[in-house]
A and B are shown apart, each in its own frame.
Chain A
């Protein structure tokens, strides 16, 4: 009996399929919403609040892209993805872009046929140990039991690090960060390893954070960034340059508070004028409205504002800018010129 309902829905699905098939930008515009893949829940990066509104550092990038393309930062359909489903979701077209703390690696870029659109967070893998263990360097961890999330690059880095340093370890495979927290606190493993940002966020939730230390060694490069499918360069450009616009806005002193004033009248700085569309035709070149960058910046502010609001030092997570500061402040953020 109920098969009929399925058939009915299949029909609707089939009709909807007929409308698709254009470029991603056209699809998004026709649909009126951006399908953005995010993590099912990662502290500071993506999480739904009590009203079901998604917030976080990765989420803010989705909103900025939606604002740039559709002029409405709320026109985003957040698709929660797990570490296992994220790439198929993107490859199959279920989502238009993936902003899910995904490490930019050679094989993901080349073999899985994705295009990474820059880096929104420079991370690196670290170790956390209880201070009672008396370890001050990761080189002293020979024979330790290590809690490690399966199916991630951290697992491979861990194996590499211990092999290079001629040490042995016993892995305790775990599925989620939450499970890792419990296992680590219960003493099931001596060491917990994951991205340093995750370690900081995890340690912040402990009842006695002071009893645990994050070791100084960062054993890997984890450039996390948004990615899109290979082969649709126009769409890739939009994501890339939206991210660049957010970084450039911080560099140029454009904030969510002053962006409206700066865009309403041409300023003395021609780069600001070009970015905000009061001079030149960058918007037209990228296939968007002239005020695309204005919309993107007013969605959640510039890169620095987004960082401070979601994961910065005044949040419970309390991450320092570190590598994620502008190049003028000793960090790695360096955007090509808007010209």
Chain B
């Protein structure tokens, strides 16, 4: 055989060719473009048409965007400026953003106290870091994450520092009662009594204790009324509370819905289906209008608090279903495996089921978060001045009446930053938790 081969082949190279660069048409920007944009006649056509469309859009929009109106202080002065420089077309009147950006961010929050919401936001990042970036941040910082929910209302609303401390003390009271009762009675009874004691402490003793301590040692921030909240600060506050509370409540509801105990199951199903069957607007109207009628006259149950509760309930119902999807996606073997290891229900959930179910649900959870955050703009319908509500109020100023796109573009851009970062984080988390299922 080899002989025949040697006869038919005239020349055999006996050294390796040196490696050479790939052809110029397949590397670099040119290669990328050839591969991705011009790989066939159809794609080439589509590329050209899309490029022409983008150029057309930019050609029409850019002149509107590039407009030397940052310094103007009313719509009419913008128009006078256009006249002066001889522009025949309308341009953006950016003066409204310069004039009102602080109001769009902070609402009517007193300007000298802006540091409080800003500090709250920074501390929120610090509190979230150990949760979001497990392993990269010292786990001891979790202590701060636990304290933060009590600090947040104090920073935003102000008042005496003893209020959050007295609220935290409720846990101490519960723990003490539990220890005392557990010495004489069964553990279950102790848990019930301790819970009862904690709730009673919060309901009846927190305020007197806090005010008592405040009169001895007045450490207080200047109080800020809820009515002064507005703009993105309001959206972010409502959004963060709803997001933070809806995840744990959603997990509990999802587990409850899959529970074997009929009462628990039907309660959870009823709650989820009721909330999901009602638009958020309806819930907000209940918060703003119906509660007002049912509560005794003169009751001053903070409107923002009511809205937060309603948004949280709304988000929890959706969260529950997203997480139930994750639970349903787990193969039965995982449950059986947990049982065969002798784990009890909570151990199995904590160690085996939830970590996997939550990982599967990450995209759904994050899109629910983003949805909730954007839904906060609905509060403008009940008269709270969120960014959209404020845009309306700003337009009611005679200086800025007639301005639309500048405000909406600014609001849209800020919302985009928030939502896009959430979505990016979710992708990071997915990559990090990937253990080879796909």
Given A41-B396, A176-B392, the answer on whether A17 and B299 have CB atoms closer than 8 Å is yes
Asked if B383 and A82 sit within 8 Å, CB to CB, the answer is yes
B202 contacts the other chain (Cβ, under 8 Å)? Answer: yes
Of the residues A8, A207, A317, contact of B202 by C-beta under 8 Å: A8
Asked if A15 and B396 sit within 8 Å, CB to CB, the answer is no
- Give A192-216 as 1s and 0s: 1 = Cβ < 8 Å from B's Cβ atoms: 0000000001101111000000000
Asked if A80 and B389 sit within 8 Å, CB to CB, the answer is yes
* Stretch from B16-24, B37-45, B264-272, B397-405 forming part of the interface with A: B397-405
Task: Tell me if A's interface is mostly helix, strand, loop or mixed.
Answer: mixed
Given A40-B393, A93-B297, A206-B402, the answer on whether A9 and B302 have CB atoms closer than 8 Å is yes
Of the residues B107, B300, B392, contact of A40 by C-beta under 8 Å: B392
Most buried by A among B90, B150, B292, B300: B300
A34 contacts the other chain (Cβ, under 8 Å)? Answer: no
Complexed CA–CA distance, A82 and B383 (Å)? 5
Complexed CA–CA distance, A226 and B103 (Å)? 28
Q: Which residue of A lies closest to B107 (CB)?
A: A52
Q: Size range of the interface on A?
A: 35 or more
B219 contacts the other chain (Cβ, under 8 Å)? Answer: no
Given A6-B305, A40-B385, A205-B75, the answer on whether A178 and B404 have CB atoms closer than 8 Å is yes
- Taking CB atoms, residues of chain A closer than 8 Å to B228 are 52
Asked if B206 and A77 sit within 8 Å, CB to CB, the answer is no
- Taking CB atoms, residues of chain B closer than 8 Å to A39 are 396
- Taking CB atoms, residues of chain A closer than 8 Å to B383 are 40, 79-82, 85, 89
B163 contacts the other chain (Cβ, under 8 Å)? Answer: yes
- Taking CB atoms, residues of chain B closer than 8 Å to A17 are 295-296, 298-300
Asked if B401 and A48 sit within 8 Å, CB to CB, the answer is no
Of the residues B285, B298, B394, contact of A93 by C-beta under 8 Å: B298
Asked if A1 and B149 sit within 8 Å, CB to CB, the answer is yes
Asked if B293 and A88 sit within 8 Å, CB to CB, the answer is yes
Q: Which residue of B lies closest to A204 (CB)?
A: B401
Complexed CA–CA distance, A12 and B300 (Å)? 9
Asked if A5 and B396 sit within 8 Å, CB to CB, the answer is no
Asked if A2 and B305 sit within 8 Å, CB to CB, the answer is no
Asked if B396 and A42 sit within 8 Å, CB to CB, the answer is yes
**What is the distance, in angstroms, from A334's C-beta to the closest C-beta of chain B?**
29
Given A2-B241, A82-B383, the answer on whether A8 and B103 have CB atoms closer than 8 Å is no
Q: Which residue of A lies closest to B385 (CB)?
A: A80
Asked if A2 and B398 sit within 8 Å, CB to CB, the answer is no
B352 contacts the other chain (Cβ, under 8 Å)? Answer: no
- Taking CB atoms, residues of chain A closer than 8 Å to B395 are 41, 43, 178
Asked if B103 and A52 sit within 8 Å, CB to CB, the answer is yes
B221 contacts the other chain (Cβ, under 8 Å)? Answer: no
- Taking CB atoms, residues of chain A closer than 8 Å to B100 are 50
A10 contacts the other chain (Cβ, under 8 Å)? Answer: yes
**What is the distance, in angstroms, from A53's C-beta to the closest C-beta of chain B?**
9
Q: Which residue of B lies closest to A35 (CB)?
A: B227
B193 contacts the other chain (Cβ, under 8 Å)? Answer: no
Asked if B292 and A88 sit within 8 Å, CB to CB, the answer is yes
Asked if B203 and A11 sit within 8 Å, CB to CB, the answer is yes
- Taking CB atoms, residues of chain A closer than 8 Å to B244 are 2
Among B380-432, those with CB < 8 Å from A are 380-385, 389, 392-398, 401-402, 404
A316 contacts the other chain (Cβ, under 8 Å)? Answer: yes
A102 contacts the other chain (Cβ, under 8 Å)? Answer: no
**What is the distance, in angstroms, from B172's C-beta to the closest C-beta of chain A?**
12
A166 contacts the other chain (Cβ, under 8 Å)? Answer: no
Asked if A7 and B293 sit within 8 Å, CB to CB, the answer is no
A117 contacts the other chain (Cβ, under 8 Å)? Answer: no
- Taking CB atoms, residues of chain B closer than 8 Å to A207 are 79, 90
- Taking CB atoms, residues of chain B closer than 8 Å to A21 are 297-298
B199 contacts the other chain (Cβ, under 8 Å)? Answer: yes
Most buried by B among A8, A43, A82: A8
A115 contacts the other chain (Cβ, under 8 Å)? Answer: no
**What is the distance, in angstroms, from B97's C-beta to the closest C-beta of chain A?**
12
Among A28-77, those with CB < 8 Å from B are 39-52, 56, 77
Q: Which residue of A lies closest to B171 (CB)?
A: A4
Asked if A201 and B401 sit within 8 Å, CB to CB, the answer is yes
B118 contacts the other chain (Cβ, under 8 Å)? Answer: no
Among B193-214, those with CB < 8 Å from A are 199, 202-204, 206-207
B262 contacts the other chain (Cβ, under 8 Å)? Answer: no
Asked if B402 and A92 sit within 8 Å, CB to CB, the answer is no
Complexed CA–CA distance, A87 and B107 (Å)? 24
Most buried by A among B99, B302, B309: B302
Nearest 6 Cβ contacts at the A-B interface: A20-B298, A41-B396, A205-B402, A92-B292, A47-B396, A52-B108
Could you list 11 examples of A-B contacts with CB < 8 Å? A2-B241, A6-B308, A12-B207, A14-B203, A16-B300, A40-B389, A41-B392, A41-B393, A52-B107, A93-B298, A178-B395
Measured CB to CB, the residues of B under 8 A from A are 75-76, 79, 90, 99-100, 102-103, 107-108, 111, 146, 149-150, 153, 163-164, 166-167, 170-171, 199, 202-204, 206-207, 225, 227-228, 241, 244-245, 248, 285, 288-289, 292-293, 295-302, 305, 308-309, 380-385, 389, 392-398, 401-402, 404
Q: A1-B146, A80-B393, A207-B90 are in contact. List 18 more A-B contacts (CB 8 A).
A: A5-B153, A7-B199, A8-B163, A8-B164, A8-B166, A20-B298, A20-B300, A40-B383, A47-B394, A50-B102, A78-B227, A79-B383, A80-B383, A81-B383, A88-B292, A92-B289, A93-B298, A178-B392
Measured CB to CB, the residues of A under 8 A from B are 1-17, 19-21, 27, 39-52, 56, 77-82, 84-85, 88-89, 91-94, 176, 178, 181-182, 201-202, 204-207, 315-317
